[in-house]
Amino acid sequence: MSNFNKSFIKLTAILFIVVLSGAFNSCATAQSSSKKQQYKVAVCDWMILKRQKLGAFGLASEIKADGIELDMGGLGKRPTFDSKLGDPVERKKFLDKSKELHVGISSIAMSGFYAQSFAKRETIEPMINDCVKAMKDMKVKVAYLPLGTESDLVKNPELRPIVIERLKWAGKQVGKIGGVIAIETSLNATEEKKLLEEIDSKCIKSSFNFANAADNGRDIVSELKILGKKHLAQIHASNTDKVWLENDTMINMPEIKKTLDEMKWSGWLIVERSRDVTQVHNVKANYGANVAYLKKIFQN
């Protein structure tokens, strides 16, 4: 074999190794990039005083949140939510602003059910259908449904059958668009898991709230482990208003992250409260601090 041919073969082999190495490095970079996005941090638009307002995106961007939990609007005695999201022109404004500022939408919230009864309201169907339509039109996969004070299954266990029946139906509706309704209850994790198993719908999951566990003396890490990855759609990663998350001795955030890592869970961490009561009305300070702390722990 001539020296030229030997040199050519060696050069070809070296080039092959370089290209192959580059491919592996590219995959590693893509995986690392993906891993950084395992947890995203959002804020509730109604808690930053921007309920279904375009300004929520700008404020979220200013405090460096990755997204907002966008509310369906007020409910009161109306047959359905007072929502702009059903109007194509208004909806486009929200989607355009989200894209412009690179602020995502973690979920569509039905916060009206904090005070209204999911178990007793007669117009549940248009409410759920309007929310599901908004999810579909805005390409959002999760809806947030708090069962609230009027459908509290700890205080009103007699409502359990009707709540289950309605959630089974709601699961079928959101399932048509490949979405999930994430419910928040006052139950402990063991009982909430039983409830989800009784509903028996892959489209009804848990919206876990740190405050529910902390306020009732339950260990957040243990509760997360009991619920498990399968049942967990999103997390309201804040406590009742007292101090900022970074100063909250009731919440061991590094241990929570370790637990979620071990569970291989990924998703949205949403700041609802954990406001400093000495400056409770300072939206930027409170939510800016809590978003920064969650990012420091979960996106470092």
- pLDDT tens for 50-91 read 999 999 999 999 999 999 999 999 999 999 999 999 999 999
C-alpha distance across the termini of the chain, in Å: 55
Q: How far is CA 265 from CA 103, 256, 258, in A?
A: 22, 11, 11
Q: Where are the domains of the chain?
A: 38-298
Q: Are strands 39-44 and 67-71 parallel, antiparallel or unpaired?
A: parallel
The CATH class, in words, for 38-298 is alpha beta
Percent of the chain with pLDDT over 90: 87
- Mean pLDDT to the nearest integer, 222-246: 98
Q: Tell me, what's the pLDDT at 3?
A: 47
User: What is the C-alpha to C-alpha distance for residues 88 and 73, in angstroms, rounded to an integer?
Assistant: 16
pLDDT of residue 159: 98
pLDDT tens, position by position, 108-129: 999 999 999 999 999 999 999 9
| 12-27 confidence digits (pLDDT tens) | 444 343 333 343 333 3
What average pLDDT does the chain have?
A: 90
Largest CA distance in the chain: 91
Could you read off the pLDDT of 187-220 as tens digits, one per residue?
A: 999 999 999 999 999 999 999 999 999 999 999 9
Read off the pLDDT of residues 124-150 as tens digits, 9 standing for 90 and up: 999 999 999 999 999 999 999 999 999
What is the distance between the alpha carbons of residues 20 and 293, in angstroms, rounded to a whole number?
39
Which sign does the torsion angle of CA 125, 127, 133, 135 carry?
Answer: negative
Neighbours of 149 (CB within 10 A): 14
Q: What integer pLDDT is reported at residue 217 of this predicted model?
A: 96
| pLDDT at residue 15 in the model | 39
Across-strand partners of 180?
Answer: 142
Q: What is the pLDDT of residues 254-270, one digit of tens each?
A: 999 999 999 999 999 99
Is residue 6 scored above 90 in pLDDT?
Answer: no
pLDDT at 300: 83
